[in-house]
Amino acid sequence: MLKKSRVKFKSQEIIPFPNTKMMRNLLCVHVSVSGNELCLMTSHLESTRGHAEERMNQLKMVLKKMQEAPESATVIFAGDTNLRDQEVTKCGGLPNNILDVWEFLGKPKHCQYTWDTQMNSNLGIAASCKLRFDRIFFRAAAEGSHIIPRSLDLLGLEKLDCGRFPSDHWGLLCNLDVIL
């Protein structure tokens, strides 16, 4: 939980992906939390196997924007990337100063797959597919981060009263330690 009184909004920016076929963009919000500068980013990258090239271009743009954020800021990107691991590899992997939070936390099995057609019946797909489409990337502030990822869990695992899950993806809940 976060007290609104501790968060100071600074600015926001919506950056369109120039070649998207699905009206996708990158949202960046700059805030200060108890004196810690944060750049928070989210996006829904191009969906489906057939749009891998555009999705990889979008990932490159996300990583570039993460690198361009002020060094004094901790940068956190979280979103539905629709990425396959081999696409990240084809893009050259993550820069040395950007972490995949799931990997950083030791690849916990309980939250590896955020898209699981066997467990989640929302799409009615007969085939059994398990993929890690939803990801959180983290870049520490240059002066030594006062914000550290601590744990990761899945959300939305229970059906609503209507008999459906909140989404066809599981959500990710990342707990962060903020050192004041």
Q: How far apart are CA 73 and CA 65, in angstroms?
A: 12
Output the 3-class SS for 92-155.
Answer: CCCCCCCEEHHHHCCCCHHHCCCEECCCCCCCCCCCCCEECCEEEEEECCCCCCCEEEEEEEEE
Q: What is the b/e burial string over 82-107, where b = at least 16 CB atoms within 10 angstroms of the residue's CB?
A: bbbeebbeeeeebeeebbbbbeebee
Catalytic residue among 80, 116, 134, 168: 80
Residue 57 — φ and ψ, nearest 5°?
Answer: -65, -40
Instruction: List the beta bridge partners of residue 13.
Output: 28
Tell me, yes or no, if 80 is annotated catalytic.
Answer: yes
Closest by alpha carbon to 171, among 103, 120, 100?
A: 120
Q: Please compute Rg for the chain using Cα positions.
A: 17
Q: How far apart are CA 92 and CA 64, in angstroms?
A: 13
Residues assigned a catalytic role: 80
